[in-house]
Amino acid sequence: MAKAPVRALSEPPIPNRERPADPAPYAATRDELLQFYKEMLLIRRFEEKAGQLYGLGFIGGFCHLYIGQEAVAVGLQSALDGDKDSVITGYRDHGHMLAYGIDPKVIMAELTGRAAGISKGKGGSMHMFSTEKRFYGGHGIVGAQVSLGTGLAFKHKYSDDGGVCLAYFGDGAANQGQVYESFNMAELWKLPIIYVIENNQYAMGTSVNRASAEDQLYRRGESFRIPGIQVDGMDVLACRGAAEEALAWVRAGKGPIILEMKTYRYRGHSMSDPAKYRSREEVQAVRDKSDPIEHVKKLLDEQGVTEAELKTLEQEIRKTVNEAADFAESTPEPEHAELYTDVLVERY
């Protein structure tokens, strides 16, 4: 009997699988580019203000800022269908909410623990939710949103609603066991989900290279036959281009896909971070060379958008953020009776 051919270990894997095409950068119109700029700048100014309010004692508990990573949420979410797709993320969630067009006032009021906050002031920074917008949190358990997101994708498939789930998680979360159980099910059942690894290079104080045997995180789905694409997460057009490719893959019924977004967190992990694990020069070099907002600013300049136009925009954004902060400081805290509501959902 003829023996099955033996492949040398050094040979590349058998190319028996279809792969997504390499994404092209999104060809944005002038107006779309302006919109990206606006949304990214809103996230940045909002987060700076949140940092200040934290320092002043208006915000309690944990608070993880998204500064530096703005292009990821804005680029990816701009490609979604707001009527049917869903989003889930971890605790670094303010930017994702803002990129979804959720009112900055109710996000800031959630941060300050007020009744008008999007989770009635009971969730805080890490547990923001808007089921109305199909934004399912806001989760403090590292990696939990990957399994929950896989459940959301199951729901999309089960009810045949045409939706896709975008499930964000970090480079640190990518080493959690439940991520791989989820990958297996998602591919087996061809669930409509895009796994977005926001590789901001650090999990608290541990760099990705110190913690990950395979640090090319887009490859993490290989043994489950889930394709992956590595994306410049500091370039909003690259992010949007990758989202288009990933959505086309998933919407065609080909199952899950992984996007590894190479990005960078400028601020500390949370509001208390000794910052001993990297140098100031490292952070400054990224700010100088790869800032996602400066990048779009240059593109806008090439499109003939003037400094004066950008200044007006900046003033509008500062006004929006200041109004959100004033609201968040002045609106009342929840009634004590609220301790007993939203604790259990009963279904009959």
Residues 114-133 interacting with ligand TPP (rule: CB under 6 A): none
From 113, 140, 149, 170, residue interacting with Mg ion (rule: CB under 5 A): 170
Q: Report strand pairing: 257-262 vs 228-232.
A: parallel
**Residue 283 contact, options ligand TPP, Mg ion, none, Cβ 5-8 Å cut-off depending on partner type:** none
Q: Contact between 96 and ligand TPP (CB under 6 A)?
A: no
* Tokens (6 digits) for 261: 């977004």
Give 143 or 227: the residue with its C-beta nearer to ligand TPP.
Answer: 143
* Tokens (6 digits) for 200: 């901001």
Radius of gyration of the chain (CA): 21
Give 30 or 210: the residue with its C-beta nearer to ligand TPP.
Answer: 210
* Tokens (6 digits) for 274: 């000794």
Q: Contact between 173 and ligand TPP (CB under 6 A)?
A: yes
Q: Hey, what amino acid is at 169?
A: F
Q: Contact between 89 and ligand TPP (CB under 6 A)?
A: no
Closest contact distance (angstroms) between CB of 140 and ligand TPP is 5
Closest contact distance (angstroms) between CB of 211 and ligand TPP is 9
Q: Contact between 262 and ligand TPP (CB under 6 A)?
A: no
From 104, 151, 172, 241, residue interacting with ligand TPP (rule: CB under 6 A): 172
For the chain, counts of helices (H) and of strands (E)? 11, 7
Q: Report strand pairing: 202-203 vs 206-207.
A: antiparallel
Q: Contact between 192 and ligand TPP (CB under 6 A)?
A: no
From 23, 68, 121, 140, residue interacting with ligand TPP (rule: CB under 6 A): 140
If one counts every other C-beta atom within 10 angstroms of the C-beta of residue 286, the result is 16
**Which residue from 137, 63, 144 is spatially nearest to 100, judged by alpha carbons?**
137
Closest contact distance (angstroms) between CB of 174 and Mg ion is 9
- Judged by CB under 6 A, which stretch of 47-55, 101-109, 139-147, 216-224 contacts ligand TPP? 139-147
Q: Is residue 212 a contact partner of residue 172, using CB atoms and an 8 Å limit? A: no
How far is CA 88 from each of CA 29, 106, 145, 167, rounded to the nearest angstrom?
28, 18, 6, 5
From 39, 70, 93, 171, residue interacting with Mg ion (rule: CB under 5 A): 171
Give 76 or 325: the residue with its C-beta nearer to ligand TPP.
Answer: 76
Q: Is residue 74 a contact partner of residue 99, using CB atoms and an 8 Å limit? A: yes
**Which residue from 133, 61, 123 is spatially nearest to 98, judged by alpha carbons?**
133
How far is CA 40 from each of CA 84, 179, 256, 327, 344, rounded to the nearest angstrom?
23, 29, 27, 22, 36
Q: Contact between 200 and ligand TPP (CB under 6 A)?
A: yes
Residue sitting closest to ligand TPP (CB)? 170
**Which residue from 203, 191, 199 is spatially nearest to 270, judged by alpha carbons?**
203
**Residue 173 contact, options ligand TPP, Mg ion, none, Cβ 5-8 Å cut-off depending on partner type:** ligand TPP
Give me the count of residues in the chain. 348
Q: Contact between 200 and Mg ion (CB under 5 A)?
A: yes
* Tokens (6 digits) for 70: 């703005």
Q: Contact between 305 and ligand TPP (CB under 6 A)?
A: no
Each residue 9-48 as x (binds ligand TPP by CB under 6 A) or -, in order, gives ----------------------------------------
Residue sitting closest to Mg ion (CB)? 170
Enumerate binding residues for ligand TPP (CB under 6 A): 92, 140-142, 170-173, 200, 202-204, 265, 269
